[in-house]
A and B are shown apart, each in its own frame.
Chain A
Amino acid sequence: MTFLLQSIFNGLLAGCIYALFAMGLTLIYGVLNFVNFAHGELIMWGAYFLYLFMESPLGLPLPIALIPALCLTILLGLSMDRFAFKPLRQANRLTLLITALGLSFFLRNGAQLFWGAELRTYGFEIKRGWKIFNISITTNQIAIILTTLVCIAVVYLLLHRSRIGKSMRAVSDNLELARVAGINTRRTIRFAWIMSSSLACIGGILLALDTNLQPGMGMINLVKAFAAILLGGVGNIWGALLGGIVIGFAENLGVLIISTGYKDAIAFGIMVLLLLLKPPILYGSQD
């Protein structure tokens, strides 16, 4: 029973992080209408940027190091768009996807070049968690959940209460119509990248706090984030949030049944299952 409760709690934790990844991925999908294969690399670089500022020689405390890390990740996201995707706005889908895949590979090996392939952590001491209902909860884990809640609130306010957020929703609804209505689509796209990169950075940091840092962490989480947005309906940000949490639960409860070596495969299993059941949103024609 305790074990089950602990798994549920861990599922919630993982779900929060996946939700942040999925929301970022679906934001770009909504505006630019393609799956950014390099989103995982924003996650990974975000986490490593924080590591850069927290390690010697800088050795800043986490809350301060967060600011330059966030800025650098946003810069990375914006330059991704400027140098790789912007020249291809009119290109066909295959071209765009191969570019994104090449970019993802480039960035992943870039991280490996600087930091090597070994596992790293932020070097916090492992503290004993509190016991609540017999499950152990650490301060880090509470911070993860709280941060996620704050992020969700900010995203909600930006999308529904600010002018730029409203225009972003308009663009993802119908780009041509939004343009006719006088919405500055360029600015909107830039804003979408800023939001997506920030979510990726924060999510990546939370993941690294909970587990560790490694150059390969981006790709596998991209697949999970993708499974989450399929689950929630492609392009729907609140669906992505929900999908992420479901994937988190499924993974942590799934390992009660199957071997932990396949934990990362569960998201893929869910994806295949969804495709077999084929909800109508998934199989629109190739445009």
Chain B
Amino acid sequence: MIPTDDQELIESFQAGDEFAFVSLYNRYKGPVYAFCVKMLLSRSLAEDVVQETFLRVYENRDRLLNTDAFKSWLFTIARNQCLNQLRRTNRQVSLEGQEHAEPVAPLPEIPAHQLEKSEKIDLVNHFLAQLKPDYREVLILREYQNLSYEEIAAVTRSTVSAVKSRLFKARRKLAGYMEPIMNRERQGARSPAPTAPDAAPDAAPVSGSTPPPA
């Protein structure tokens, strides 16, 4: 009988069942890949890190004593690999380093609702790049992976109160980064779209976006 839940898969994997490992890989490769992409902001680097993460899982399967904590253990490995990769690529020096100072493209001068999907994705990546890795990781684990505070604390080897503190600070910074765009959105909502001074409807594509509310 093929095991289906995580615990059975992990126990089978630890007992030497290779198919159980493949099942675990297929189950978790997506979340780990998404986490790595957002942490590294690079898909090619994320692919390398995902491979390295699961190789470590394969090598160190005996070290996982609590099979209930597999997800936290897996993301801990992925997180450490991401931080190592960030250090190697000099994107961020360390968790205590200064905030990311990479030159980025200026924010679009259009309201948020007129942004295309790809522009919104670029903005998300732009805002994530502004955050320090220790803020970025808690935000990603919460917003993308939907981990609980306790799980994030286990992954980042910190306490729940520290996780909350970092998450709230990250959101405060995020709100500050998004403020100009959201302000334009509100100004566009208060005034008619054709006469909005900074709406610039002719300057940006509006296909697929909803018209501003009257």
Instruction: Please say whether chains A and B are actual partners in one complex.
Output: no
